[in-house]
Structure 1
Amino acid sequence: MPSAGGGSVRTHAINKRLVAMGHSVTVLTTAYPDAIERWQDGVHYIPVGFGRGRTKLSRLLGYVLRLPWEVRRRRDDCDLVVEDFFAPFSTMSAPLWTNRPTIGMVQWLDGREKARQYGLPFHIVERIGVRTHSRLVAVSHGTAEALRQLNGRAHIEVIGNGLDTRALEIRPQLGRNVVFIGRLDVPDKGIDFLMDAWERAYQQVDGDLLIIGAGPDENLVREMVENKGLQARVRFVGWVDGTRKFQLLGEARLVVVPSRKESFGLVAIESLATGTPVIAFNIPGLREVVPTGSGWLVEPFDTAALAAEIALRYNSSEDLTVAGREGRQSVAQYDWDVAAAQQAAAYQRALGPFPADRRKNRP
């Protein structure tokens, strides 16, 4: 879906490599405007829902109501079901109704945050659902620890994300602007924190704040900018991808990741790969991917501290140069081919004693 975040990037990056290994992969995804059944890099995508999925709520309800039926009608053609967790309640307890070996792929574990946001008991649904799984793959150690607290009996493996190598082709430079890039989702991505911090810091910064991305809260973010009188110092770039995204990251002086929660922090490693240092809150999922020397972590959700760090680092060319060099070196470990091979092995283990005559090499 246009403007989809890092979770969708990972799903496709892994699956297209599984196809290259000889597996057959079908992805049942939410319906959205202009979505069609298609093959992309060998992966079969099938939108599931009712109507065109014009709103977030209609996409969610359509997917939840139709998914069990869609899985059951296809289960004779598959060996393994992968439940990729999704907001707001993470899991639909898939092992209870798939009638096939099932593994949970956990990129999201947001039940408690969504419960506070909407005043609904999503965290209870999440807790019950996680306990139905016996095997789980987490994208970070922080996510794995949260899963262990919910289900201490499950076998949990940690398989991180990879890196698009096009980011490493960007020539590092000390740019002028500060960049936020990601889905425009205020509660998840902490854009409200960023706006408060920018209001405090922008007079000490020569460049502008670039908002790169799209999402459900774009109008709300624009209202924040207007209400704070920041129109002259904030620019909306829109959604970009591929080489253009990496060019914008590489041209930035700093990238700020103000998220309330991140399971991994793909934007952070992409920024570091282009040689641009990162400032982020010191939360699980980000502290794992922003090592000391390649960026700076501040007290979670302290906008005064965030503003001070932006102003301090922006005006220190030496700090930025050293951190940019260290950041490029720190991301060398992230490789989609390695992650896909690890994921394939985890899937094979999840099949367990499943009868050999039922295995069609089709996760």
Structure 2
Amino acid sequence: MKLLTFSTLYPSSVIPSHGIFVETRLRHLIASGQAQSRVIAPVPWFPLKGERYGEYGKFAATPAKESRNGLSVTHPRFVRLPKVGMSSAPYTLAWTALRAARQLQREGYDFDLIDAHYFYPDGVAAAIVARALNKPLVITARGTDINLIPQHAFPRKLILRAAAQADAMITVCEALKDELVGLGADASKVTALRNGVDLALFNPSGRDEARAALNLAPGRFTLASVGHLIERKGHELVIGALAELPDVDLLIAGAGPEEGALRRLAGSLGVGARVRFLGALPQARLREVYTGCDALVLASSREGWANVLLEAMACGTPVAASNVWGTPEVVASPEAGELMPERTAAGVAEAVRRLRAAPRDRAATRRYAEQFSWDATTQGQLDLFHRILAARRSPELRHA
């Protein structure tokens, strides 16, 4: 089958970690040998390149076309209007995507199905494109697109309109499926297919070497907090917990607008000497962090399916995580780690104390992660896509 993968959440040579979970799922699907895809991954238009312009400067530097992991990726520009961007984005995005999709068709790639990721604005825009081209559509919901954005009335209306049009929807956890159905989506069209983990890349080997490379003090219990430096990720709660954990150090891997505030918080709490900011890291370096640290902490307020949890577990490292959305589906066994009793600095500290009081066997944590390979998710996608295409060929099968 020929797919058109569509999302603004997709990596590029300039921002290689952006939406990597979309690329990873697609790579495993293509590796099955039963599907091929072209990727349209629009980026906001911005006139000036350079680090001084932050994320928008990186968007400006993104190539119009590139090849990543053997996949052809197009990065057309769309206009994100100031102040009205949330309302206008689906339409400017759809206009850009439709032009790019028609160009692919002119070049001889006439795809069978549109595989869109993130419901708003991406899924809504994809629905407009699918209607214009008379193509079946599958939309994957991933987190804040369902558990946050629908709090706004206009996006919620467009999300439900796209959900009604879509041939099928995928959520990355059962909690998001329940939320999407609760908003009004047809439950019979929603399938939960959780993310997997790359068990070859993320592995527990070389722990001593990893600790040495990170210059971790012998005998010091070290936590890692991984993710964008934004409020939703809760890095400030992990820093706050250090005040209750005087013999614990913290590595923070990620970049973002909250870095300055987080550094100031660490200083004001007197724990600055025990907090090290590593910046944004490629996945190979993240493996080093996961393998070298004693526990990963994820204090997010919202998560669909947090890949960092499985990545750490695959490296043999247990986790302490906030009890939100899909996270209890990931941390579902003592070998995996601990759920925080509350999402506060004190809750983080308590979960870490529990981990230290009952140390997890790292080999058992790795075995727990091994049940989350990509195989089941890949097969689930293939079954779903084949069913949709068969129904398109034989309309009487649509309600079978």
- Which residues of 2 match residues 327-338 of structure 1 at below 5 A? 327-338=365-376
Residue 39 (structure 1) aligns with: 67
Residue 102 (structure 1) aligns with: 137
Q: 1:52 & 1:125 partners in 2: Cα distance?
A: 17
Q: 1:138 & 1:115 partners in 2: Cα distance?
A: 15
Moved more, 170-179 or 78-87: 170-179
Encode CA deviations 1:189-232: one digit per residue, 9 max, x unaligned. Answer: 223xxx24532433524232111012344344344444545422
AA aligned to 1:159 is L
Question: Is the Cα contact below 8 Å between 1:200 and 1:304 reproduced in 2?
Answer: yes
Alpha-carbon distance change, 232 to 134 in structure 1, aligned in 2, over 3 angstroms: same
The TM-score with structure 2 as length reference comes to 0.74
The TM-score with structure 1 as length reference comes to 0.81
Q: Does 2:108 match 1:78?
A: no
- Equivalent pairs, count: 341
Residue 228 (structure 2) aligns with: 183
Residue 14 (structure 1) aligns with: 25
Residue 193 (structure 2) aligns with: 159
- Which residues of 2 match residues 279-318 of structure 1 at below 5 A? 279-293=320-334, 294-310=336-352, 312-313=353-354, 315-316=356-357
Alpha-carbon distance change, 300 to 282 in structure 1, aligned in 2, over 3 angstroms: same
Q: For 2:273, what is the secondary structure of its paired residue?
A: helix
- The equivalent position to 2:96 in structure 1, one of 48, 63, 66, is 66
- The equivalent position to 2:40 in structure 1, one of 20, 23, 28, is 28
Alpha-carbon distance change, 114 to 176 in structure 1, aligned in 2, over 3 angstroms: same
Q: Unaligned regions of 5+ residues in structure 2, if any?
A: 1-10, 44-58, 209-218, 395-400
AA aligned to 2:190 is I
Q: 1:279 & 1:349 partners in 2: Cα distance?
A: 39
AA aligned to 1:177 is T
Residue 275 (structure 2) aligns with: 234
Q: 1:83 & 1:29 partners in 2: Cα distance?
A: 10
Percent same amino acid among aligned pairs? 21
AA aligned to 1:305 is G
Q: For 1:92, what is the secondary structure of its paired residue?
A: helix
Q: Unaligned regions of 5+ residues in structure 1, if any?
A: 357-363
AA aligned to 1:34 is A
1:44 deviates by: 1.2
Q: Does 2:385 match 1:341?
A: no
Question: Is the Cα contact below 8 Å between 2:313 and 2:366 reproduced in 1?
Answer: yes
Question: Is the Cα contact below 8 Å between 1:87 and 1:108 reproduced in 2?
Answer: no
Residue 164 (structure 2) aligns with: 131
Alpha-carbon distance change, 85 to 154 in structure 1, aligned in 2, over 3 angstroms: farther
Encode CA deviations 1:22-56: one digit per residue, 9 max, x unaligned. Answer: 53311111322432211222211111214899xxx
1:344 deviates by: 2.1
Q: 1:233 & 1:338 partners in 2: Cα distance?
A: 41
Encode CA deviations 1:328-347: one digit per residue, 9 max, x unaligned. Answer: 12111111244223222221
1:308 deviates by: 2.6
Residue 8 (structure 2) aligns with: none
Q: 1:259 & 1:290 partners in 2: Cα distance?
A: 14
1:73 deviates by: 4.4
Residue 4 (structure 1) aligns with: 17
Residue 174 (structure 2) aligns with: 141
1:300 deviates by: 4.5
